[in-house]
Each structure stands twice: as structure tokens, then as C-alpha cells.
Amino acid sequence: MRFMMIVKATTDSEAGVLPSQELIDAMQKYNEELVKAGVLLAADGLHASSSAVRISYPEPGGKPKVVDGPFTEAKEMIAGYTLIEVKSREEAIEWALRMPDPHGYGQGEIELRQVFEFEELMEDPESIAREEALRKQIGESKNA
């Protein structure tokens, strides 16, 4: 099972303040632990939202609206993510709990989300049945 540990943005990360050496060391040690346990798939940090772009669709079926950053509400944004492969949801929680407080000043927040697996999308009997029904429908309308 894959999980994404999402580190939320903070006032500092948005202001481009680099993390303290202590935090960098702690993160490095944590990442090494993930590597040595064979569970780390990927980990990346993101630039602040000042260089971000938001694309939204305010009108259903309408044209996209493009807005340049920076954006307010740091908690709604993410500053980085770590992707892990583990045996169970409990194991993912345990790893997320071991991640150092990503900020340290009361704003640190990590969100743990399970990644959809291919078979969940492809082999779920319901969606297969739906897909088959859809194909049949398309076939019939073509023949009609």
C-alpha cells in the first residue's frame, strides 16, 4: 500500500524562510530511516506559492481561470510530500508519527493520504461492470 505524507505549508515556508539546521538534520535522519527500512519511494519539497499558478473552473464547462501566486491561507497549501510503500494503514500512521515536526513553532501539520492502487481502479468489480455496461451501450449505439 502506498501512502503520501503531505507536509502542510506554514507562514515560514511561504515566506521562503529555510528550516533550521536542527530540523534539516532531523529530517535527514528520518529519511535515512525510511530508506533503511526499504519503504521510501519518493520525497520532495515544493517552492513557496509565490511562484505557483492556480487553475480553476468557476463555470461548469467554461474556460479555466488562471491566477498567479502567492496565495494566502498557508494551511490550505502543501510544502512537500513523502511517498512510502508499507504493509498496512497502521504502519503508515506509525511512520507519519515518527516524522519530525515539520515546523516546530506550532504550525506543523502532516496529512496522511492513501494512494489509489491500480487494481482498486481497474479490478473493482463495480467499476469493471460499469465499464462493461458502458462498452455495450457504445456498441449498441454504433450498431443502431
Partner 1 sequence: MSVSQTHRAIETIWRMESPKIIAGVTRIVRDVGLAEDIAQDALVIALDRWPGTGIPEKPGAWLMTTAKRRALDLLRRNKLQDQKYVEIAREIDTYTEDDVDRALDGEIEDDLLRLIFMTCHPVLSQDARVSLTLRLLCGLTTDEIARSFLIAESTVAQRIVRAKRTLNAEKVPFEVPVGKELEERLCAVLEVIYLMFNEGYSATSGQNWTRPLLCQEALRLGRVLAAIVPGEPEVHGLVALMELQSSRLKTRVNAQGEPILLMDQNRALWDQLLIRRGLAALERGQKLGRTLGPYALQAAITACHAVARAPEDTNWIRIAALYEALSRQMPSPIVELNRAVAIGMAFGPAYGLQLVDALYAEPSLAGYHLLPSVRGDLLEKLGRYEEAAAEFERAAAMTRNEKEQALLLKRAAACRQEGGQA
Catalog residues that contact partner 1 under the rule CB under 8 A: 35-39, 41-42, 83, 85, 87-88, 90-91, 93-94, 117-119, 122-123, 128
Q: How far apart are CA 81 and CA 99, in angstroms?
A: 11
Burial 47-76 (b: 16+ CB within 10 A, else e): ebbeeeeeeeeeeeeeeeeeeeeebeebee
Q: Which is nearer to partner 1, 67 or 129 (CB)?
A: 129
> Which among 78, 9, 96, 2 has a CA at the least distance from the CA of 42?
2
Instruction: Quote the least distance from Cβ 97 to partner 1, whole Å.
Output: 9
CB of 112 to partner 1, least distance (A): 14
Nearest distance, CB of residue 48 and partner 1, angstroms = 25
Judged by beta carbon, residue 36 or residue 63, the one nearer partner 1 is: 36
